[in-house]
Amino acid sequence: MALRWIIVFFGLGLVAAKLTGDTETDVDEGHDWDIFNINEAAGLDLLEGDIQQEETSSRNSILGEKYRWPKTIPYYLEDSLDMNAKGVILKAFDQYRLKTCIDFTPWKGEENYISVFKGSGCFSSVGNQRVGKQRLSIGNNCDRLGTVEHEFLHALGFWHEQSRADRDDYVNIMWDRIEPGKEHNFRTYDDTVSSALGVAYDYGSVMHYSKTSFNIGSEPTIVTKIPHFMDVIGQRMGFSASDLTKLNRLYNCTKSSTFVDSCSFEEENICGMIQGPGNRLWEQKSSVSGGPQTDFSNMGQCKGKGYFMHFRTASGKPGDHALLESRWLYPKPGAQCLQFFLHNTGAADDVLNIWVREYDKANPSGKLRIVKSISVIAHPTLEPEFTRILSFFIKIYTLCFSLDDINLSSTKCPQHIWHIRNITGLLATTPAGRKLYSPRFLSPAGYSFQVGVYLNGRSDRPGYMATYFHLTSGPNDHNLKWPCPWQQGTMALMDQQPDVRQQMNMHRMVTTDPAKMSSDGTEYYWDNPRKVGSKVTASDGSYYYRGPGTGTSTFITHTRLKSRNFIKGEDAFFLFSLEGVESFRH
């Protein structure tokens, strides 16, 4: 049986006249949009495809200190922006805060600020132009997390990766395949104009052109000298590790704004964690009899590496306990998110408690407060759980626990996790056109929803994974507003990297517009699923109603699905949230 860890975290769809649970709206209209396709379709002819700057303008912005922004950047979201775009922009800001020292704050009259609007495409200037109101466009189809990160990296001072002076050592430009008049988009800039900041050429940069940028026909305009990277260039999932290194060097970042701590237990000091005054001890292990056979970080692929913390309860007696406590940490006030992978071997009565020790004048030695109890059923898995932290406390019955890849950040946790077991086998056996549905989940506002996934794509778009968000009937429907007003659903496929700062989760967001109608104008698309949905029989024999879905047939290619740690130990995790965004209207 394959080792399983669980992570613990506190085709073109045409809308039919009659809405049903099988109705699907594809926000991408069957296209795998990139920034340059969007801008070309909009009739834009910008420098390098998405840079709003005249050819005669200076290109030394990455070198000139005067073009730097302060580390906290004022921004303004203009009324023209779509509601979904506003939510995506704010989530992109969260990624900047988590992975760099860059922060964003609403504009309060500062002299220079970034004003984001809905233009005819996706574009930005490079660096702080010191013009007061500096505009950045997030237009139709630009409301993707990686696209927003890309445009803001321009604003922060970065050119495209393939314009580096050493570009020709790594890729070949096929000049005869470039659309006439677009050749200038493939120029390189020497070290007097642009700096690589001492970072190696990055095929995986979110700032790299795709292989078909500005091409004639279907042949690539960029051919990587290492063939493996042909399908890597042009990713818009999010920041690469090198993107973050360059940004942190340019802005002299020594720590991230909201990241607090990460630990994969590779060092003997176990990240400064201490054993509490319990009867028994946690142990640092690379494998244990009965599982897990490897750690979760490396999955046994690195000889001499790969440790986790293990607590064996089988030889204990009822009432025994053991405490594993972090060093002193100083998260920012507000939301805190703890993520870790948990492996267990089976008794339902055993409990993993998570505590926080709070220090104040009344409790100078700290006061323990429990924030979560996790009782784990008898299947050998490690699942994700997000919560607030600081101590792991076991109350023993008959179980063995193992912990790995702990991350703490001053951020919101995803609300729900869908663990897809043996996704490798499902990909091998599920035909294109067959849809797999998640369990139903409840949002904080009380709306019930689920996500449908075509693992091998819709019948008309094989080679992609497709995802669709559906409202479903739930226990609170009689108390909720209908049609569902301005709730943003986030669907994220988790990149299971040990350090949350290195994760490149694949995100898509959709927002419920209460005014959206069916194609014949007779029904509200996001109305109560009991009115506009289909009756569905659940596996336990109960039934519910599933409303129409909205999503994308081009969520992620199978090539990119295998390029990161989206699949680990044969399993995958989707992270879901449904949050109100009505306040963005004002």
Phi-psi region of 330 (alpha: psi -120 to 50; beta: other; left: phi over 0): beta
Question: Rounded distance, CA 139 to CA 37, Å?
Answer: 13
Check the annotation: does 31 bind a ligand.
no
| Exposure class string for 296-314: b at 16+ Cβ within 10 A, else e | bbbbeeeeeebbbbbbbbe
Mode of pairing for the β-strands spanning 448-454 and 436-437: antiparallel
Using CA atoms, how far apart are residues 3 and 193, in angstroms rounded to an integer? Answer: 51
- Cα maximum dimension of the chain: 77
DSSP secondary structure code for residue 154 in this structure: H
Active-site choice (24, 40, 149, 151): 151
Query: Distance between CA 250 and CA 65 in Å, rounded?
Result: 10
Find the distance separating the first CA and the last CA of the chain, reported in whole Å.
Answer: 53
d(CA 187, CA 48): 9
Cis peptide before 483 (omega within 30 of 0): yes
* Residue 160 in marked binding region: yes
The rounded radius of gyration (Å) of the Cα atoms in the chain is: 25
The count of residues in the chain is: 586
Using N-to-C axis directions, what is the helix angle for 145-156 and 83-99, rounded to 10°? 60
What letter does residue 152 receive in the DSSP assignment?
A: H
Q: CA dist 20 to 24, 210, 296, 522, Å?
A: 9, 37, 41, 13
570 belongs to the catalytic site: no
Distances 162 to 129, 222, 243 between C-alpha atoms, Å: 23, 9, 13
CA distance 207 to 295: 33
Per-position b or e across 126-149, b if 16+ CB within 10 A of its CB: bbbbeeeebbbbbbbbbbbbbbbb
Binding residue numbers for Zn(2+): 150, 154, 160
Active site residues: 151
